[in-house]
Chain A
Amino acid sequence: MNDLINVVDWSRAQFALTAMFHWLFVPLTLGLSVIVAVMESAYVRTGSAKWLALTKFWMKLFGINFAIGVATGIILEFEFGTNWSNYSWFVGDIFGAPLAIEGLLAFFMEATFIAVMFFGWGKVSKRFHLTATWLTAFGATISSAWILIANAWMQYPVGMEFDPAQMRNIMDDFWAVALSPVAIHKFFHAVFSGWTLAGVFVISVSCWFYLRKRNEAMALRSIKVGGWIGLAGIVGTLWSGDGSAVDVARVQPMKLAAMEGLYHGGRGADLIAVGVLNPSKEYDDEQEPFLFETKLPNMLSLLATHDLNGYVPGINDLIDGISIDENGDTVKTVSYAERIAIGKQSHEALRAYDKARAANDTAAMDKAAADLKATFQYFGYGYLDSPSDAIPPVGLTFYSFHIMVLAGGYLLLFIIVYLTIAYKKSSWLTNRWWQWIGIISLVIVYVCSQAGWVTDEVGRQPWIIEGLMPTRAAISFISSGMVQLTFWLFAAIFTGLLAAEISIMLKAIANGSKSDYDSLPDSPSAETQSPTQSTKS
């Protein structure tokens, strides 16, 4: 048992490392592709050589980020087959179908049009090139949709039926999977957060130009474009985050309770603005959950139910079986102790099915399959020893959620302030304080982006598939030593790759800052995209 827990912990750490490394590149790809497309649209509309230079500079940074990030997601699929073999079999085509569509789309759309983006300057018409740039942005966004649909299904499994003969979940309603509210909000939240991250990235790099007193006009124009996309991104992130909060309240209420450190819920629940958790608090003792907290009255109810007086259950309420239904109404559901009992009955039904199958007893198989179907909703609970096993790590979930929210609030202010400065007081950008705040904010946006995923993934523990499969059931019987070895191997490779990317990116930024942007004409010119112009990428 101890080795199994070690394997689970190391495999989770390995998956987290790989996913977080992958997620360093994805949001920048999603957002920067749109920013580059907007810049190129301005170039095609105006014919300005300045817009062309701006487009090429940011396109180069997009290319570097894309190249380093490409294929890092494939490693996650390797891990499914080795570390999580039970899981990868159990999910069947529900995971396979979206990933296969993603693979095809990514190959045909991104690979083809990215080649035109980088190699097509002066070789294809301006409009064809612009179309390729927009299709690259569109392709990257659509690719991400399929991954996010698969992830959303794990958080809210719908549109399938479990087949005990195949030991797989069989998708019986593709649209229920693809268009579940969790998938839709998750998709928009991830994409808009990518726009936000890319907008802040553009502002930060531009602030570095100001710091080095190079190409300030280029930096100013970049801040304006990056700022607008970043603003659209952060507003979209807030809107989709609001939708996600309502989803979490309805389909993963335990995650919401952990995000807020809420043990005893009620109507008109307060939102914790800032707080320090009591580390010795257990769910079944009477200690205060916080050493210190600042609350926003009724705001948690508003966030979760869109009603200032809405009921939000806490950890203890959920364990006792009090929750809210899909309409937001308070309901008495099945307590966690009962769920565990039903889950164990579900295991017995599967065991009976297995025996009947071996004996070729069709009647017994049918009965066992019917029993399994009736109890399958709580199949995963059968692996838990006590209700407390169903509580996610409250500390990590709470802090990552609050870091995300506070950083998101800061980023909204940051983008509005820098956009205003760019339009009204651009001379302020020559001040070192504004330059350094701009540069340092790049770290904040990455922390915010990663904290969002930590909240989402840690908050759903112990489940790999909500209610159906905990991580300990999903894992393969492999040795923890092998997983530790590959964990450290990944850590070394990823660190090397990241160092290489940062080095290449910094060199490209430094070269861009030395370009002769100021001498370029801002009016239409016949020579702005001639085949003789530099097309190096």
Chain B
Amino acid sequence: MSDKPPLLTRIWRFYRDGFREMTTGKSLWTLIIIKLVLIFVVMKLLFFPNLLKRDYDDDDSRADAVRSSLLDDRR
């Protein structure tokens, strides 16, 4: 009988060992995590809402809003 661990365990160990053995990768991952937090938490939540999704409940009212915006004389 084979003592080979199940596939999922082997995949988990593959990634775990890979991360553990990194040298340059550690600074990179720190940087990536800082970047992702800045992008997805700070920027997305605080500064970049999807205006049409936020301000209107359904696609019909979003279409109406865009139509009225495109026909606005200020443009």
Tell me, rounded to whole Å, the shortest Cβ–Cβ distance linking A428 to chain B: 33
Q: Which residues in window 36-72 of B have CB below 8 A to A?
A: 36, 38-40, 43-44, 47-53, 59, 62-64, 66-72
- Given known contacts A75-B39, A78-B44, A123-B14, is B21 in contact with A535 (CB within 8 Å)? yes
Q: Which of A68, A119, A165, A482 contacts B63 (CB 8 A)?
A: A165
Contact size range, A = 35 or more
Say yes or no: B52 contacts A89, CB within 8 Å: yes
> A71-99: which have CB < 8 Å to B?
71, 74-75, 78-79, 81-82, 85-86, 88-90
Which B residues between 11 and 50 are near A, CB-CB below 8 angstroms? 14-15, 17-19, 21-25, 27-29, 31-32, 35-36, 38-40, 43-44, 47-50
Task: List A contacts of B18 (CB < 8 A).
Answer: 115, 118-120, 537
**Bound Cα distance A120, B13 (Å):** 11
* Residues of B that sit less than 8 Å from A by CB: 14-15, 17-19, 21-25, 27-29, 31-32, 35-36, 38-40, 43-44, 47-53, 59, 62-64, 66-72, 74-75
Q: Is the beta-carbon distance between B28 and A89 smaller than 8 angstroms?
A: no
Instruction: Tell me the dominant secondary structure on chain B's binding face.
Output: helix
- Please report the C-alpha to C-alpha distance between residue A90 and residue B67 in the assembled complex, in whole angstroms: 9
Of A132-140, A453-461, A469-477, the stretch lying at the interface with chain B is: A469-477
Contact present for A167 and B63 (CB under 8 Å): yes
A residues within 8 A CB of B36? 71
Q: In whole Å, how far is A122's beta carbon from the nearest beta carbon of chain B?
A: 10
Q: Across the interface, which residues of A come within 8 angstroms of B19, CB to CB?
A: 119
Assess the A85–B70 pair: CB atoms within 8 A. no
Q: Which residue of A lies closest to B16 (CB)?
A: A119
The reply to whether A81 and B66 form a contact with Cβ atoms under 8 Å apart is no
Establish whether residues B71 and A351, one from each chain, have CB atoms under 8 Å apart when the complex forms. yes
CB distance from A157 to the nearest CB of B (A): 16
- CA–CA, A75 to B50, complex, Å? 12
A102 within 8 A of B: no
Given A82-B50, A166-B63, are A473 and B28 also a contact pair (CB < 8 Å)? no
Judge whether A4 and B25 touch: CB under 8 Å: no
Q: Which residues on the A side are within 8 Å of B14 (C-beta)? A: 115, 119-120, 123
Chain A residues within an 8 Å CB radius of B22: 536-537
Q: Which residue of A lies closest to B55 (CB)?
A: A85
Separation in Å of the A530 CB from the closest CB of chain B?
A: 15
Q: Decide: A167 and B31 in contact? CB cutoff 8 A.
A: no
A273 interface contact, C-beta 8 A: no
CB distance from A99 to the nearest CB of B (A): 14
Evaluate contact between B15 and A119: CB separation under 8 angstroms: yes
- A-side contacts of B29, CB under 8 Å: 67
Set B50, B53, B63: member contacting A168, Cβ < 8 A: B63
Q: How far is the CB of A248 from chain B (nearest CB, A)?
A: 27
With A68-B31, A70-B32 as contacts: A472 and B75 at CB distance below 8 Å: yes
Q: Which residues of B contact A168 (CB under 8 A)?
A: 63
Besides the contacts A119-B21, A120-B18, what 19 more A-B pairs have beta carbons closer than 8 Å?
A: A63-B24, A64-B28, A82-B47, A82-B49, A82-B51, A86-B69, A115-B15, A119-B15, A120-B14, A354-B71, A472-B75, A473-B70, A478-B51, A486-B48, A489-B47, A536-B21, A536-B23, A537-B22, A537-B24
Which residues does chain A contribute within 8 Å of B24, judged by CB atoms?
60, 63-64, 504, 507-508, 536-537
